[in-house]
Structure 1
Amino acid sequence: MEGAVEVERVRGERATPTRELLRAVWGTYALDGEPRLGDASGTSGIRDLGGSSSLNLLARRAGRPVVVRVYLPWVDSTRLSDLQRIRGLLRDAGVPTPRVVPTADGRQMMPYDGRLVELEEYVEHDAEMDTWARLNAGMPTLGRVHSVLDGVDAADVTRYPGFANAVEAADARAVTSRGVTRIRSWGDNSADWARMCDEAEEIAEIVATAETASPPTRRQLVHGDFWDNNVLFCAGQVAAVIDLDFLGHRPRVDDLALTLFFADQTLLPALDERIPLLRRLVDWYDSGLDQPLAPEERAAIPAALARQQLWGFGHVVWLDEKPARNLVDVMVGEVRRTVAIARDLPAWRAAFAEVGA
């Protein structure tokens, strides 16, 4: 079975908008005005748009808003060239995706201090995909993204990102074990942390058994983080799909499970509504596919959903202790919700296998 390529990469920290960086970018891209950061309201200077990986700055060029994106050090020119090509394929197929703005001398990216920088159009929007109504409206676009990317090839560094919020089914048990081992090594774990470690190992064992018997199928390039501020809306319609930082080659149901996971964790009002609401999102997603989900793919979704948060245990291993502890605090509640799915996996599989139920 195809699995992740073993890589040794240094993730690095999100770039800091130093005076030297800003001057270099402004000169290379011929941006408007003086390169200085604005205040917290963004009413003066340039504004940091946020993001956990890339540094994203709102600036202007020839009077038009643009986004300066400074990547993490592990993103090389091969991967970024692939990402730009893939964004173009999506745009040509009708998925709204911002265009790359070249440097003043026509290049698609610029190097700076071991990182790559690109400029892209800024998309005006009034909302993000963070409500049930916008999720319902956005899921067919995820299906369209998967249909466009099906069969698209890319370099290994693109297919297997060094850092992502995903874990392969074949790796979930080992990744969880390493993370749990580190958490327990701190020796001062609360009862919540101790219970979470036990529950995570239980999830990994249940899911590993289920997915060994019925491994996920239809591996392909997928978006990697189709959620919240990566899907922009204007007047109730999808205005842009952005941020392919976690794009990789995985089962398409794994990518779907990520969106379902965040919807389940942040938007579901009651546990007894979980299955019908999440299954409805699957049906909306399916409506955007050229090749609809096969019954075995639908049945595989709950295991992928239960496995989703186990990627966090891999991050616990490489993060410094303070941010690792902060991540564990977040994971306690997330694992508590997903262990319930693992413990009732046959019922979830049966429910999700039903088309349009």
Structure 2
Amino acid sequence: MDIDLRSALRLGRDAFGIAAEYGEKLAGGASANWSAAVHEKQAGEPRWVLRCCLRDPRPERIAFLQEFASAARRSGLPAPVPHRTVDGRWWTADDDGRPWVLLSHLPGVPLAGSAITEAGAASAGALLSSLHALDTGPAAGAPGPDSPWDAWLTSPEAAWQATEHACGQDAGLLQAYEPFVEALRRAGAPLVELTDRSVTHGDFHGHNLLTCSGPAGPVSAVIDLDAVALRPRAFDLATAILMLARTGSGDYRLQPHLARALLSGYQRGATRPITHAEHAALWPAMVLSQLPDPGHLAALRRRGLPLRQALVRPLAALQALGAQRPLAAVPRPRRPQPGRLVLGCDGAQAAVTGPGAFLDALAEACRPWLRAAAPETAPDGMWTLHAEASVGRSGAVVASRSGAEVRRAGRAREVRVAPPTGTGDVLVPAVRLLRALMRRQLAASGELFLDAAVLDLRGRGVALVGGSCSGKTSTLISALHRHPSRLVANDDASVRLVGPDVQARGYPRAVEVRRESLVHLGSAAGLLEHAAAGSAPAGPLYLTAPAFAAALGVPTAAAVRLDALVLLTAWPYPPALRRLGPGEAAARISAHLAPADPYEGWLDLDLPVPAPLPHAAARLTATLPVWELAQPITALAESADLLATHDLGGHR
């Protein structure tokens, strides 16, 4: 049954209330989901994905997947945001009874198998560990997809008979598969012993992973959650290694360095390290993932498609696996030293000690702005925070504004941190202290600090500069929500001259959204209110930076090359951009140079904050164009469109 693109766009307008004027087909077939990217304008970037759920049209399965995707986004997983219909339902049906859903379109390109680097593989492993750490509660009673894996594990004889029936008279095809079925019989015992279940993706490969940094990675988002279910996580890991560590498309010889990188990235982010039993199950799980699904074979035969042509890739994968048995040569990656985490960015570093679960949560809260490093490579004399339930009476109390009780430890550059009452946790205070330590160290090497929000807007680095109540956060939200972009900093960014360029970086910092601004943010307001459900009803919305980005459906980035500085000022309608001359630009930017750390003054003796060098603003504005965006708060959408379409970096 063919699907007409114009009819799909009309359904998007009528059922979901979106401005669906243009689109192009992304995927689809007789038994696969049909998808189209949807635009508001003919030359604009896609904003949504309309999907017809042909693969599994059960209403209860579709509702579960949409609820799960919404919950995953609230938990910080960079995946598409599902949208409801105009009458509040997760899906609608067309005139032929086919179910349709609407998702946000995420920027990026698929992670290309032939060009993946170790960094790309490691970031894919870290993202997979984040998915596996999601709460299993919502998926516990969910209707799962039909899994051929279960059939081959629980009733292999019946699965083989069904395969024989589907293959008909093609004895050669059966003979090609038989050695691998036998291999699974001999080596599949570790799979049967896997009893723990996690939320798993079910189809974790390069075409379902997006990157905004080129085809080599790192990964910025995961898409296509249609196969999500509770399974042993070794199945996802096996698929990821097989598809991301292979030599190239159709060449399934695994590259050990990529397999190691993926497993190491997974281990660094995992709340539960990979066990010996799970590691032993990876090779048989790879074999199992490529065995024929009898139901799929029968569907191919019903459609008159040649089975051999359809099964070229899985057979090639099985033959490569049979020749290599590759995981035997890949040692289990070791988890970093328990109880100690080293975080840093560009030469600034600090260590934190504490319980493993706390360190995992801290690493997640600081990602991607602060990167974890191997503790054994950390230099002596590094600043160290000891997270404890109580700091006791030893050591001098310091006047910290982090929200925790902080005492100097016995050795220099070591402090003990605990909640003031001895209860609760110190995650937020630890993030604040780490931010202060990083910024002070970077200030000593010449970093400049700005009252600015920073984003990568359609591939261009833009800093929105302004003081309190200037509209930085509101303008940032509107731009992130309306255009392909990445969040770098929601406030207090820093910049550094790197050769002919200026690099801007962000830091882990909570986002405050004033309630009075919500009325001007359109549909983004509802997303943020939903994500900040725990905020006080009468006060501002508070979100962590990862939760803020997840609510808006955008990836985060630690740093970006700047193309322009944009000063925000209030002005009547309509919004307008004006490029500033050198003298005015330097004077106005100089007023927004900020101290590296105005909060933790007790660090001044050990890590003094140097004043900005003379003419720092002049050097900065001589390198970058500076614009003034005069806007009313009521025209944020138009301001965002103006920023996205104007040549801000022209004639640099």
**TM-score range relative to shorter protein:** 0.7 to 0.9
Q: 1:75 aligns with which of 57, 75, 90?
A: 57
Greater Cα offset, 262-271 or 121-130:
262-271
Residue 9 of structure 1 is matched in structure 2 by none
Post-superposition offset of 1:138: 1.7
Residue aligned with 2:99, SS = strand
The answer on 1:29 being equivalent to 2:16 is yes
Give CA deviations for 1:90-143 in whole Å, capped at 9, x if unaligned. 222221122223323433221223322111211121443534222222210000
Cα deviation, residue 154, structure 1: 4.0
Match of 2:268 in 1: 287
Q: Is the 8 A contact 2:264 2:333 kept in 1?
A: no
Deviations 1:9-67 (A, max 9, x none): xxxx8x62365554334322334365xxxxxxxxxx42011256221111135986211
Work out whether residues 128 and 266 of structure 2, in 8 Å CA contact, stay in contact via their aligned partners in 1. yes
User: Following the alignment from structure 2 to structure 1, what is the Cα–Cα distance between the partners of residues 142 and 25?
Assistant: 31
Cross-structure match for 1:254 = 235
1:202 aligns with 2:189: no
**In structure 2, do the counterparts of structure 1 residues 149 and 238 end up closer, same or farther at CA, with 3 Å as the change threshold?**
farther
| Residue of structure 1 in register with 2:25 after alignment | 48
CA distance in 2, matches of 1:226, 1:144: 13
Shift of 1:355: 3.6
Distance 1:85 1:266, change over 3 A: farther
- 1:221 alignment partner, one of 174, 187, 199: 199
1:161 and 2:148 equivalent?
no
* Structure 2 match to 1:136: 122
Select between 20-29 and 49-58 the one with higher mean Cα deviation: 20-29
Query: Would you tell me which structure has more strand in proportion to its own residues?
Result: 2
Tell me how large the CA RMSD over aligned residues is. Answer: 3.3
Distance 1:95 1:348 in 2: 28
Q: Secondary structure at the match of 2:133?
A: helix
Alignment partner for residue 309 of structure 1, among 278, 283, 290?
290
What is the rounded CA distance, in whole Å, between the counterparts of 1:229 and 1:300 in structure 2? 24
Kindly state the Cα deviation for residue 313 of structure 1 after the two structures are TM-superposed.
4.8
Mapped partners of 2:249, 2:3: distance in 1: 36
Task: Establish whether residue 115 from structure 1 lines up as the match of residue 85 from structure 2.
Answer: no
Q: Structure 2: which amino acid aligns with 1:334?
A: A
Cα distance in structure 2, aligned partners of 1:332 and 1:154: 33
Which residue type is aligned with residue 200 of structure 1? F
Distance 2:125 2:104 in 1: 24
Superimposed CA distance per residue, residues 124-171 of structure 1 (whole angstroms, 9 cap, x where no aligned partner): 2144353422222221000010011445434342xx203x57456623
Supply the distance in 2 between the matched residues of 1:328 and 1:70 (Cα, whole angstroms): 25
Q: Which has the higher contact order (CA 8 A, sep 6+)?
A: 1
Look up the match of 1:5.
Answer: none
What is the rounded CA distance, in whole Å, between the counterparts of 1:89 and 1:293 in structure 2?
25
Cα distance in 2 between the residues matched to 1:132 and 1:269 = 15
| AA matched with 1:47 | E
Q: Which residue of 1 aligns with 2:599?
A: none
Q: 1:98 aligns with which of 80, 93, 106?
A: 80
Give the % identical residues.
Answer: 23
Alpha-carbon distance between aligned partners in 2 of 1:200 and 1:267, rounded to the nearest angstrom: 22
Give distance in 1, aligned partners of 2:275 and 2:205: 24
TM-score by length of 1: 0.76
Secondary structure of residue in 2 paired with 1:117: strand
**What is the total number of aligned residue pairs between the two structures?**
321
Evaluate the alpha carbon distance shift between residue 104 and residue 144 of structure 1 in structure 2; reply closer, same or farther with a 3 A threshold: same
Whose Rg is larger? 2
**Deviates most, 62-71 or 175-184:** 175-184
Distance in 2 (alpha carbons) for counterparts of 1:74 and 1:268: 28
Is the counterpart of residue 57 in structure 1 residue 40 in structure 2? no
The yes-or-no answer on 1:336 pairing with 2:316 is no
**2:129 aligned partner, one-letter code:** G
Match of 1:72, SS?
A: coil
**Native 8 Å contact 1:147 1:289 kept in 2:** yes
Rounded to whole Å, the distance in 2 between the matches of 1:119 and 1:285 is 30
Q: Which runs of 5+ in 2 are unaligned?
A: 336-652
Q: Secondary structure at the match of 1:319?
A: helix
**Aligned position for 2:565:** none
1:324 aligns with 2:307: yes
Match of 1:253, SS state, is helix
User: Are residues 129 and 92 of structure 1, via their aligned partners in 2, closer, same or farther at CA, if it must alter by over 3 Å?
Assistant: farther
Q: Tell me which protein shows more helix as a share of its residues.
A: 1
Q: Quote the Cα distance in structure 1 between the aligned partners of 2:180 and 2:121.
A: 28
Counterpart in 2 of 1:245? 226
Which residue does the alignment assign to 2:498? Answer: none
Distance (Å, rounded) in 2 between the aligned partners of 1:207 and 1:172 = 16
Q: Which residue of 2 aligns with 1:41?
A: none
